[in-house]
Amino acid sequence: MNLDLAVISDGGLGKQIALSAITKKLSEKYGKVAIISGYPEVFFYNKYVYRNLHFQHPYLYDDYLKNVSVKRVEPYLTDEYRFQKKHLIEAYCKVLGIEYDPEMTPMIFLAQQEEDEVLRYKREVGKYILLQISGGAGGQNSNRDWPVTEAQKFVDLFNKEFRDIKIIQILLPHQPILNNVIKMNHLSKRQIFPLMKYCESFVVIDSFLNHLSAAFDKKGVVLFGGTSPKRFGYKQNINLTNQDCVCEERRFD
């Protein structure tokens, strides 16, 4: 396999979306780059990624990595992230030897079919915003998630004020569902991506939709609980912090 560098990237979906911000610089510096992660769908159609593979790809090391320089990246362990409280993307740049540019934002590439499907859906339901109140794979995480009772108050007020705009709630099957929303708990990650591109706006916790919004330069509200917009936020959004949360921020997901 004619590769110049393989990047092994652990962590969740939002982390991989943030990594996509430096794929162009990676390609310019190293040449043919492979990215191995748990979420290869983030890098579909990315012209700067020569090979896009899952951790469990058959014969990964024998067929792809045997004679290739490999970097396993963990930005959360850099001094820039831990002590200087730099943005996640800047920490990725440090780990991979890339010059950081504050204008770097995630890059998501969509197929025309993906866009067409969402545009057809939008013609059916009309204008919509996205809402996400829970992150991770389980129920609610008290440090990051929006309490259900408070989120429902927002939904009720929004529906009363903006009767011509729907609310689409993005969630996993076992996460709490709000009333009077369009629930989307059955979509693949790739189906969610174009929903962000064509939404009117959004209200989300600091999870993958926060990073996804920057890929399409969408403007909305991001609620930060136990995390910081300095490390995970994007300037186009209204980034609200929970002043009552005094816990020391740690992110290893």
Q: What is the DSSP letter of 102?
A: T
Each residue of 172-212: pLDDT tens digit? 988 999 999 999 989 999 999 999 999 999 999 999 999 99
Over the range 98-129, which residues count as b (16 or more CB within 10 Å of their CB) and which as e?
Answer: bebeeebbbbbbbeeebeeebeeebeeeeebb
Q: Is the pLDDT of residue 230 over 50?
A: yes
pLDDT of residue 54: 96
Nearest alpha carbon to residue 1 among 40, 37, 31? 31
Could you say which architecture CATH assigns to the domain 112-241? Answer: 3-Layer(aba) Sandwich (3.40)
Rounded to two decimals, the pTM is 0.92
CA 47 to chain centre: 19
pLDDT of residue 247: 46
pLDDT of residue 142: 61
Average pLDDT over residues 46-68: 93
- Beta 33-37 vs 5-9: how paired, if at all? parallel
Each residue of 122-172: pLDDT tens digit? 999 999 999 999 986 555 556 789 999 999 999 999 999 999 999 999 999
Q: Return the percentage of the chain with pLDDT > 70, whole number.
A: 92
Domain ranges of the chain: 5-96, 112-241
